[in-house]
Amino acid sequence: MTSPHKAAAGRRPKQGDGSQAKQEQLDTFTSDNAALLTTNQGLQIPDNHNSLRAGVRGPTLLEDFILREKITHFDHERIPERAVHARGSAAHGYFEVYKSMSQFTAAEFLQDPAVKTPVFVRFSTVAGSRGSADTVRDVRGFAVKFYTQQGNYDLVGNNIPVFFIQDAMKFPDLVHAVKPEPHHEMPQAASAHDTFWDFASLMPETTHMLMWAMSDRAIPRSLRMMEGFGVHTFRFINARGESHFVKFHWKPKLGIHGLAWDEAQKIAGKDADFHRRDLWEAIEAGDFPEWELGVQMIPQDKEHAFGFDLLDPTKLIPEEMVPVQRIGRMVLNRNPDNFFAETEQVAFHPGHVVPGIDFSNDPLLQGRLFSYTDTQISRLGGANFHELPINKGVCPFHNFQRDGMHRQTIARGQVAYEPNSLGDGKEFRVDGASAGFQSFPEALEPPKVRRRSPSFDDHFTQARLFFNSQTAPEKEHIIAAFRFELSKVEVPAVRQRMVDNLAHVDEKLARRVAEVLGIKPPDAKAAAGRAGFREHRFTMPIDESPALSMADTGGGSVKTRKVAILVADGIDSASLKVIREGIEQAGAQCKVVGPRLGTIASASKRQLEVDVTFVNTPSVMFDAVLVPAGAEGVRALAQNGDAVHFVLEAYKHCKAICTVGEGVQLLASLGIGEDPKAAPAGVVVAPTPVTNLGDATAAHQVAQDFVAAIAKHRHWDRANVDAVPA
């Protein structure tokens, strides 16, 4: 697919007097295909190894302009990283709408199912720096740039539908609190420290978001397996000027899946680029990630029909109250050509909208409309950041903005103002035209005040709804996350304030969290008596919302899941071949993991190629484990501590495991026998004796059972995993 900036370049006006040839030369030149090495001005460099000296052993001369250009450019290669969302990865793709949305919006890219709108998507963590790890517990950014024929539209969101705060006035405080503490710059990319929880415990409006952040949503298995949300309430405006409030959702085709917390921490040390690598490799392999765009639409006259305020960014609309309509799909099918030029220099802005999409009065959104422009000017060196190729639109544009740092457009003529009559001899004036972007003519309420609406006061009802909607294992993960985070807080009073707040969500939750923190039992009355604490509860028509749980998503697909096949000399390859074929036919990817690279010899003396080793690609990099049969091979695996740890760790992280014949011996230390009926959740024990699997039908059934176990993603209800020594 042609990139947006290349498509725009293809419409460049024809040039004469040799300038066309010059432009073609500039367009085709890259550092990869150049036969000569030159300066930035095109001067051929005769020697790229030695600076100009006064004699072969003398000092370097200041006049060496080639050296100075090279060093100066190197010195300025880095731009300031983003204050938040610094660590990111991205991809190109396209969006196509399923049917015309003209009834609700005039946005052209939401009208014609035959049109594929180019997109560029950047995923990111929020708190860490560019050098932090991918699998930290954090909110993930999910920002989509649509290159539409009406201009660029940026849907700037997160993987969580609500936010910590209600007003942009508190955003600098939130970020300062969650970032490394300023006196020693620790901890990196983590919220488990005093300043964050001090802030959160004094701001009850953070409670709903904290429930999400302490859930498995904050440690996704893959960027390809997480939802995205616009967070704020926006507007759809149709051609008749009619308004609907709208919430945006991205629904991943692969389902919503998370990591185990212990696993996430280990991956951070084993492969800090885990999510980035997973996205890149999937696209390179042709397993293009796909999401459906969903919307929740509320007519203008139903704005106050829910009991909670649609403008409050700490609230969501339960899908049981307003179903999500899936209106289109997005496919990411091309990796960036250059990380810096695209992923790092892309500039998103929630104020980049197109006709048919407008803002609400969400006070957090209103502040972001200022903040993003200010940030891009500082980070990218000036107001012309929109001219960078990755940010440039595919539609024609015309205005009288001029000059400034990094200006690339060469404006012609004497006119740089409006109205004018000197451009083409006619009067040019833009004054009250009906075309173009039109803000919704909303009536505003006086007076000007620095105060929040009482409708923003309820901080706990939706936090309670979220907790009630989780499965039992998911609730345990939330409790464990609060315990871990608050155990890192050194000031007991902060720990106490936080569990007192949690008592307003769920008394049992608060008590369970407090048990291991060396503080008093939670006291809801103490919390209610603190300054700034506002208790106001509305009545939710539902007690639970299944859509808020990550359980049973993905539709039974195992596409792109990674399965480790453990091998050593002497394993049985006869049954392995049939089982592996069944796994791969279902869409999963198998890797042979052994004690060394090269080949191993099976029991039948067949040579099997080893892809990776137990050490360089541990169990945390896989979704499931297969241990083949073969007495000699299994005996060798059982004597290899790395192999035993590999299996036990996968078991501890509740992954699907299949053992064939003697392979069950690797789980013997857990008391798991050969009886398939006695196997724990997610463990497939193939029938014995092994010779039975010489029957392809029996082996095929084992593969089917294993695929079904992998499709569950994790078997979080597996008993006694805490006792596993891994």
| Burial classification of residue 2, based on how many CB atoms lie within 10 Å of its CB (0-12 exposed, 13-18 middle, 19 or more buried) | exposed
Cis ω on the peptide bond leading into residue 59 (within 30° of 0)? no
Residue 213 main-chain phi, psi, to 5 deg: -65, -25
Query: Angle CA(473)–CA(478)–CA(484) in degrees, nearest 5?
Result: 120
Convert 94-109 into a string of H (helix), E (strand) and C (coil): EEEECCCCCCCCCCHH
Helix (H) or strand (E) segment spanning residue 613: strand 612-613
Q: How many CB atoms lie within 10 A of CB 635?
A: 14
What is the β-pairing status of strands 228-229 and 243-252? antiparallel
Distances (CA, A) of 76 to 69, 70, 713: 11, 10, 45
Q: For residue 645, what are its two tokens?
A: 């740890």
Report the sign of the C-alpha dihedral through residues 684, 689, 690, 694, in that order: negative
Residue 220 DSSP one-character state: B
Distance in angstroms (rounded) separating the CA atoms of residues 279 and 123: 10
148 Rama sector, left if φ>0, alpha if ψ -120 to 50, beta otherwise = beta
Helices (H), 29-140: 65-75
Distance in angstroms (rounded) separating the CA atoms of residues 322 and 635: 57
Contacts of 700 (CB under 8 A, 6+ apart): 578, 582
Per the listing, tokens 């560019």 go with 130
Is 452 in contact with 167 (CB distance < 8 Å)? yes
Residue 121 main-chain phi, psi, to 5 deg: -120, 130
| Extended beta strands in 73-193, E state | 88-97, 117-125, 140-148, 151-158
Distance in angstroms (rounded) separating the CA atoms of residues 723 and 726: 9
Is 596 in contact with 658 (CB distance < 8 Å)? no
**What does the CA dihedral 648, 649, 652, 658 come to, rounded to 10 degrees?**
-60
Residue 13 DSSP one-character state: P
- Which of 633, 555, 548 lies closest to 592 in space, CA to CA? 633
Contacts of 518 (CB under 8 A, 6+ apart): 492, 495
**What does the CA dihedral 518, 520, 521, 523 come to, rounded to 10 degrees?**
-140
Q: For residue 593, what are its two tokens?
A: 């993991």
| Residues taking part in catalysis | 85, 158
| Extended beta strands in 497-572, E state | 562-566
Strands across the sheet containing 656-659: 612-613, 589-594, 562-566, 624-627, 656-659, 683-685
Residue 298 main-chain phi, psi, to 5 deg: -130, 120
* 513 SS3 class: helix
Is 146 in contact with 93 (CB distance < 8 Å)? no
> What is the DSSP secondary-structure string of 616-627?
TS-GGG-SEEEE
> Identity (one letter) of the amino acid at 374?
D
Radius of gyration of the chain (CA): 29
Q: How many CB atoms lie within 10 A of CB 662?
A: 25
Q: How many CA within 13 A on the CB side of residue 524?
A: 12
